[in-house]
Amino acid sequence: MVTERNWAGNYGYRAPRIAHPASMAELQDLVAGAGKVSALGSRHSFNDIADTPGTLVVLDMLDVGISVDTQNMTVTVSGGTRYGTLAAELQRRGFALHNLASLPHISVAGAVATATHGSGDGNGNLATAVVALELVTADGTVVTARRGDADFAGMVVGLGALGIVSRLTLDIEPSFDVAQTVFEGLGWEQILESFDALTPSAYSLSLFTDWSGPTAGQAWLKNRTDQAVLPGGLPEFFSGAPATEARHPLPGVSGSNCTQQLGVPGPWSDRLAHFRMEFTPSKGEELQSEYLIPREHAVEALRTMRSLSGMVTPLLLIGEIRTIAADQLWLSPNYGRDGIGLHFTWRQDEPAVKAILPLLEAELAPFSARPHWGKLFHGTEASLAPLYPRFSDFTALAGRLDPAGKFRNAFLDRTVFGR
Ligand SMILES: Cc1cc2nc3c(=O)[nH]c(=O)nc-3n(C[C@H](O)[C@H](O)[C@H](O)COP(=O)(O)OP(=O)(O)OC[C@H]3O[C@@H](n4cnc5c(N)ncnc54)[C@H](O)[C@@H]3O)c2cc1C
């Protein structure tokens, strides 16, 4: 048994072996010869999604460098590259990604595999930037797929079920600056009355709340200076006031671990995430869940969440509301629908969190809530399959690429394959 645990420490991988292949040939031999195998990214998921009863494969030794193609405006990286490393290098060379998650510490392949997202009405999740990928499949064969190829849209958000992604090519754009401003004390009444006016107020907007009381906690507005929607220096925003010092999403925690705020413009790579690469993101001692809801149900879902405050708030460190644009990636929780993300950073009390999740999911079911694949949720294949129009196409694709189920694990059996 390996001794590795996930980032939050709530899950200990049960795999008996862990391998760090240093070349493609080594990776291919390893996969071809393995009985069961799974890719492990930077271990930031909160569940057993990356585990295997065989060999865990970590790509930290398989460095293919970071190569920018200025003609096609793309960058190619190893699956194990972390967003923080990639963002710093792109910025140094004058380029940008369209968005980042709340933290830069996660691996590109691991984030893409679970449709990890940031925020912004016009921003697809991080997987939508994938132009091409290279995959080592069950028999050790290297398969490549590009946007537009048959099955490509099924391969990107792959949940580790299709093979080991060795290389990814992502869209890039010219570097841009972002100014981040935090407002505090936004009124729930104003938010619910004008939600459709609120979220386009920034390139990326996050609302942090514990769902209790008449005001939501904080709004983090990240505006591109080349397309600022909201003029800086606003005295008031949805009846909230601008913070006068750096804030952390968690009440009472110092803002010094967070990216620069107070409207000071700076590179996208230092502003689009909430947390800085050099520090522990969020709290560390926590659990997380998240549900993606279609935009047309947003206000009703927010009202429902407020009504559930008595159940949810005591277990919460903080909640976050973000927006994500629709995509066409088969198992993306944003497939076919613009939406909002209702995120929960829970206290690290797993039995209590696991007890609340079925109740929460029952309340959010009328909104066709799809859970974040990398966080804690209760649903299984029976409840998830009807939520995804291309679900059976995905299982068929997995059957073709991995007929013996080498990459399947308990998580995939429970949530995707239904056994
Ligand atoms: C503090 C914190 C903040 C977070 N913030 C956000 C956020 O803002 N937005 C959001 O959407 N999510 C967020 N998450 C969730 C996180 O982004 C996802 O769980 C993501 O999948 C983690 O990536 P990872 O590299 O750690 O992958 P892991 O957890 O190691 O693995 C996740 C999945 O990816 C697969 N995988 C990894 N590498 C490969 C590969 N090379 N080839 C094939 N499959 C692979 C694994 O097999 C597994 O299925 C956060 C998590 C934490 C701990």
pLDDT tens-digit profile of 130-169?
Answer: 999 999 999 999 999 999 999 999 999 999 999 999 999 9
Ligand 1 centroid distance, CA of 114 (Å)? 6
Residue 201's alpha-carbon distances to 136, 197, 324, 385, in angstroms, are 42, 7, 14, 35
Residue 90's alpha-carbon distances to 70, 84, 95, 120, in angstroms, are 11, 10, 5, 21
Any ligand 1 atom below 6 A from CB of 114: yes
Per-residue pLDDT band at 4 (split at 50, 70, 90): confident
Nearest to 175 by CA among 265, 260, 77, 104: 265
Domain at 177-371: CATH code? 3.30.70.2520
Ligand 1 atom nearest residue 159's Cα: 49
Ligand 1 centroid distance, CA of 373 (Å)? 9
Mean pLDDT of 333-353: 97
- Among 11, 46, 114, 157, say which to mutate for ligand 1: greatest number of ligand atoms within 8 Å of CB: 114
Spell out where 147-304 has E strands.
164-171, 173-174, 177-187, 204-209, 215-224, 241-242, 266-267, 287-294
List the structure tokens of 289. 């869940």
Asked if residue 228 has pLDDT above 70, the reply is no
Instruction: Tell me if 98 sits within 8 A of 173, measured CB to CB.
Output: yes
Residue 212's alpha-carbon distances to 2, 98, 209, 239, 289, in angstroms, are 42, 33, 8, 17, 18
Given this model, what pLDDT does residue 411 score? 98
Per-residue pLDDT band at 330 (split at 50, 70, 90): very high
How far apart (Å, rounded) are the C-alpha atoms in residues 120 and 27? 37
Ligand 1 centroid distance, CA of 173 (Å)? 24
For the chain, which residues make up each domain, given as ranges? 67-175, 177-371
DSSP state of 414: I
Ligand 1 centroid distance, CA of 156 (Å)? 13
How far apart (Å, rounded) are the C-alpha atoms in residues 295 and 281? 28
Instruction: Tell me if 250 sits within 8 A of 317, measured CB to CB.
Output: yes
Given this model, what pLDDT does residue 256 score? 87
Any ligand 1 atom below 6 A from CB of 401: no
Given this model, what pLDDT does residue 382 score? 97
Any ligand 1 atom below 6 A from CB of 107: yes
Which contiguous run of DSSP H or E holds residue 83? helix 83-92
Nearest to 158 by CA among 400, 336, 404, 419: 400
How far apart (Å, rounded) are the C-alpha atoms in residues 205 and 116? 16
Inter-axis angle of helices 350-364 and 298-307, nearest 10: 130
Residue 77's alpha-carbon distances to 132, 136, 137, in angstroms, are 11, 15, 18
Ligand 1 atom nearest residue 282's Cα: 1
Phi, psi of 270 (to 5 degrees): -105, 5
| Topology (CATH level 3) of domain 67-175 | 3.30.465
List the structure tokens of 206. 């996050």
Percent of the chain with pLDDT over 70: 98
Any ligand 1 atom below 6 A from CB of 164: yes
Per-residue pLDDT band at 231 (split at 50, 70, 90): low
Ligand 1 atom nearest residue 6's Cα: 29
Any ligand 1 atom below 6 A from CB of 137: no
- Among 78, 85, 107, say which to mutate for ligand 1: greatest number of ligand atoms within 8 Å of CB: 107
Any ligand 1 atom below 6 A from CB of 103: yes
Nearest to 221 by CA among 325, 353, 120: 120
Mean pLDDT of 329-337: 98
Lowest-confidence region among 199-203, 236-240, 302-306:
236-240
Ligand 1 atom nearest residue 320's Cα: 8
